[in-house]
Structure 1
Amino acid sequence: MISRLSVTIVRACLRGGAGGSPTAVLDEVPLSDGERRRVPVLAGTSHAVFVSVRGSEVSLRFFTAEGELPACGHGTVAALAYLADRSGGAEHRGTLRAAGRSFAGWAVRKGARFRAVFEPGPVELREPTPDECAHVLPPLGITPDAIVQGARVASAGRARLLVPVASRTELAALAPDFEGLRAACDRFGLLGCYVYSAPEHSGRLAARMFAPSIGVPEDIANANSTACLAADLAERGITEIAVDMGDSLGSPATITASARPVLRLGGTAEVAVPVRELGL
């Protein structure tokens, strides 16, 4: 029975050196899933990442208060920064493994911070059904007839609904019914809803991720959903995007994605000092 844990807090996907999503990162230890679920709660973060190094391969497990996730984009950015900081060098490259899939990731030191990039793998896209739209959109405060054309169900491990709106102003005004949204997402097996504004000519846009089904009413930064959006927009000729998130939560974050030649996600992270001790 482990009574105390050493946890590093990494602020992932910073914007201009500020904000970001605080993420608990720690070395793999023998804990039950129930104990792992307590770690982000005790650390005051939305997610926790457990890192296991075996030779040249690093295995990652991701948990929220609700349970384990097959993948977590900003958690991967945090883990790469954690590994690079621990190595003490200017750059860290390696093979990561999560949910049975191996993929490349690297982090480069930029002063006191790290620029992390990884390849999230294939994304599955499909049109949402009328029934999905009829039940999921109203709790968001969006009526099906008001939606900008282009909603998609996308999966990079678990399915979520990508919902476009016309502007950043419309995005900022959303005030979801989280209880209703959770019930609707659970009904269709959706991770949550990633609502985004129309991309600017430069490829910059804003997004908000609502995921009450995994215990995260709104996520500061959701990189895997950004990967899903990048894959969708690439089919429409937009291959480079920068997505601003977290403003509604007072913690600005930015995630970058490139869809050519392969899908890649990136973010800047800062490793907090000192390490935090948690009592389970």
Structure 2
Amino acid sequence: MIDRPPVMIVRACLREGRGGSPTAVLDEVPLSDDERCRVPVLAGTSHAVFVSVRGPAVSLRFFTAEGELPACGHGTVAALAFLAERAGDTEYRTTVRTAGRTFAGRAVREKALFRVAFTSGPVELREPTAAECGLVLPALGVTPHALAPGTRVASVGRARLLVPVATRSTLAALAPDFEQLGAACDRFGLLGCYVYSAPARSGRIAARMFAPSIGVPEDIANANSTACLAADLAGRGVTGIAVDMGDSLGSPATITATARPGATVQVGGTAEVTGMILPS
């Protein structure tokens, strides 16, 4: 990699000030895509976000070890916290541009943390095909008796499968065959699979996101999939959710989202800017 740039580590979507998804955030630099893919590997994170400030707007690019993503929810949370920390204001607002989309984002300082929210893009929902379910669900390890009603294919940039299971204990016990799951997702053009428990009356949900096709066998926090779920549940009368993730990876995370039928989704979480990795 040419002239390794300084990288800030931001823990996105904390739960009660703990855990979260460590994310590499750095200013836009002249790197090839292959070099950008090396940044999360070198930083020890699942994702890297490249930030370019252009007047009143901010452009973001997201990379994993496997390539560029058109969108990344927890990466957006991390980038907004990074920018708010640098601005030094109590409240930071900006217009965010990603691949093919422009939306509003904000971050509010709460002592050492930032409460971040942004507007999700339009969520497209459809019923999965029998072929999709027939290959993906066995690879996940979701048996018919464990499956709850409401499996959907959802897209906010890229399609992913939303898979409801009956209980949190079923969710916690999942042990996917990642090679088989990656092949099934690749066949149908899916980003991955977001498996979640039935919502409690409070709107509290547990979820796990499996995305081996993009080099992330399991994601600590996935805000865009949470936005997809919020849009789906809004049509069934649930307008606000808080989703717990990351417990199986030892890094508890929580993402919040609000939605109404036919309206945009507000999604976000709490973030902490933890420190900088300097070039060696």
One fold, TM greater than 0.5?
Answer: yes
Per the alignment, residue 266 of structure 2 pairs with 264
TM-score for both structures, normalised by structure 1? 0.97
Provide the aligned C-alpha RMSD in A. 1.0
Tell whether 2:49 aligns with 1:46.
no
Q: 1:44-83 residue pairs with structure 2 within 5 A?
A: 44-83=44-83
Per the alignment, residue 229 of structure 1 pairs with 229
Alignment-mate amino acid for residue 265 of structure 1: V
Question: Offset of 1:146 from its aligned partner?
Answer: 4.2
Contact kept? 1:171, 1:208, Cα under 8 Å: yes
Contact kept? 2:211, 2:219, Cα under 8 Å: yes
Q: 1:1-280 residue pairs with structure 2 within 5 A?
A: 2-144=2-144, 146-260=146-260, 262-273=264-275, 275-278=276-279
Runs (4 or more) in structure 1 with deviation over 4 Å come to none
Alignment-mate amino acid for residue 189 of structure 1: G
Could you say what secondary structure the match of 2:53 adopts?
strand
Could you say what secondary structure the match of 1:185 adopts?
helix
Could you say what secondary structure the match of 1:176 adopts?
coil
Question: Offset of 1:144 from its aligned partner?
Answer: 4.1
Encode CA deviations 1:222-269: one digit per residue, 9 max, x unaligned: 000000000000000001000000000000000000004631001000
Alignment-mate amino acid for residue 218 of structure 1: E
- 1: distance between equivalents of 2:173 and 2:145? 18
TM-score for both structures, normalised by structure 2? 0.97
Question: Offset of 1:100 from its aligned partner?
Answer: 2.0
* Structure 1, 257-266 or 225-234: larger mean CA deviation: 257-266
1:34/1:68 Cα in 2 relative to 1: closer, same or farther (>3 Å)? Answer: same
Contact kept? 1:133, 1:144, Cα under 8 Å: no
- 1: distance between equivalents of 2:38 and 2:200? 40
- 1: distance between equivalents of 2:242 and 2:132? 28
Question: Offset of 1:181 from its aligned partner?
Answer: 0.3
- 1: distance between equivalents of 2:2 and 2:85? 25
Equivalent pairs: percent with the same residue? Answer: 77
Could you say what secondary structure the match of 1:4 adopts?
coil
Contact kept? 1:134, 1:144, Cα under 8 Å: no
- 1: distance between equivalents of 2:277 and 2:162? 36
Question: Offset of 1:204 from its aligned partner?
Answer: 0.4
Could you say what secondary structure the match of 1:13 adopts?
strand
Encode CA deviations 1:92-140: one digit per residue, 9 max, x unaligned: 0010000121100000000000000000110000000000000000011
Encode CA deviations 1:14-65: one digit per residue, 9 max, x unaligned: 0010000000000000000000000000000000000000100100000000
- 2: distance between equivalents of 1:152 and 1:144? 15
- 2: distance between equivalents of 1:142 and 1:211? 16
Alignment-mate amino acid for residue 243 of structure 1: V
Q: Unpaired runs of 5+ in structure 2?
A: none
Contact kept? 1:42, 1:278, Cα under 8 Å: no
Contact kept? 1:93, 1:107, Cα under 8 Å: yes
- 2: distance between equivalents of 1:165 and 1:224? 19
- 1: distance between equivalents of 2:12 and 2:26? 15
Question: Offset of 1:3 from its aligned partner?
Answer: 1.9
- 2: distance between equivalents of 1:278 and 1:35? 14
